[in-house]
Amino acid sequence: MSSGIELTANWLRRAKSAVVFTGAGISTESGIPDFRSPGGVWSKYRTVYFDEFCRSADARHEYWTQKSEAHVEFAAASPNIGHQTIAKWEEQGRIRGVITQNIDGLHQIAGSRDVLELHGTAREVTCLDCNWRSPVDPLVEQFRATNEVPLCPQCGDGRLKHATVSFGQALPELVLNRAHQWCLDADLVITVGSSLVVYPAAGLPEAGKRSGAKLVIINRDETGLDTIADMLIPDSCGEALAAIDAAL
């Protein structure tokens, strides 16, 4: 067992307010491609920006085409040992909760209860006009069957969008503020599978570090915060988390 794993386990064992921050890397181990992965759903389509979605029926159709194809990957995915370990730590009271950049809902499926989804969730849709929300599955099925963008059943003609943050759309302010406070209060922040280059999300672990928390980065590749980290663990997310858990 590496000294980095042992030291991280020791920090987690002694932490009073630990937070886990996750990115795409933890979910690629469940078969969900990174947004930037060549050959993934998103590499085949042009980006539909939020303002386009709001004003153009054609853009909304293109958006729903993309999201419906991606939904197949999300629906087939299951939590891996990394998600399960994080949920176990929350149940044991070792961590306050999870801040995630992911939209796949795998943390909740694994059993995590307090999850702050910075970029929303792909498992629900919301109406931009009346704020109605619903599980996504029946509406994706409707779109795939009819090739017509569904309208809001509550207000009649509202624009239905997956409850995720699109390019050009602001992050949910309440979620972002709560995540920021978690990091300010933390004495340990463990980031897992994130390149830590997309702001404002990447600023959260950075804020924790600058407020006195230990910063552990688990990621195979270099990240934007490597230079300020207390520990770098360049292993797969699931293997590293399981090893830390075994050392507790």
For the cut 80, the answer to whether the pLDDT of residue 234 exceeds it is yes
User: Do residues 42 and 24 lie in contact, with contact meaning Cβ atoms separated by under 8 Å?
Assistant: no
Place of tokens 């994080």: 86
Q: Per residue in 24-33, pLDDT tens?
A: 999 999 988 7
Residue 71 annotated to the active site: no
- pLDDT at site 72: 83
Q: What is the mean pLDDT of residues 59-68?
A: 95
Of residues 43 and 145, more confidence is placed in 145
Lowest mean pLDDT among 85-89, 169-173, 178-182: 169-173
- pLDDT at site 55: 96
For the cut 70, the answer to whether the pLDDT of residue 37 exceeds it is no
CATH top class, domain 33-76+121-164: alpha beta
Catalytic residue among 71, 107, 119, 162: 119
For the cut 90, the answer to whether the pLDDT of residue 42 exceeds it is no
Of residues 44 and 111, more confidence is placed in 111
What pTM was estimated for this model as a whole?
0.94
Q: Is 183 annotated as a binding residue?
A: no
For the cut 60, the answer to whether the pLDDT of residue 2 exceeds it is yes
Q: Is 237 annotated as a binding residue?
A: no
Beta-bridged to residue 115, according to DSSP, are: 98
The values of phi and psi at residue 185, to 5°, are: -85, -15
Burial 156-180 (b: 16+ CB within 10 A, else e): eebbbbbbbbbeebebbeebbeebb
Vertex 102: Cα angle to 40 and 77 (nearest 5):
60
Vertex 230: Cα angle to 224 and 233 (nearest 5):
70
Q: What is the mean pLDDT of residues 67-83?
A: 91
Burial 10-49 (b: 16+ CB within 10 A, else e): ebbeebebbbbbbbbbbbbbbebbebeeeeebbeeeeebe
Q: What is the mean pLDDT of residues 2-13?
A: 95
Burial 183-208 (b: 16+ CB within 10 A, else e): beebbbbbbbbbbbeeeebbbbbbbb
Q: Is 54 annotated as a binding residue?
A: no
User: Do residues 231 and 214 lie in contact, with contact meaning Cβ atoms separated by under 8 Å?
Assistant: yes
Work out the pLDDT band at 3, boundaries 50, 70, 90: confident
User: DSSP characters for 115-138?
Assistant: EEETTEEEEEEEETTT--EEESHH
For the cut 70, the answer to whether the pLDDT of residue 35 exceeds it is no
- pLDDT at site 41: 52
Domain ranges for the chain, please list them. Answer: 1-31+79-119+171-248, 33-76+121-164
Domain spanning 1-31+79-119+171-248: CATH 3.40.50.1220: yes
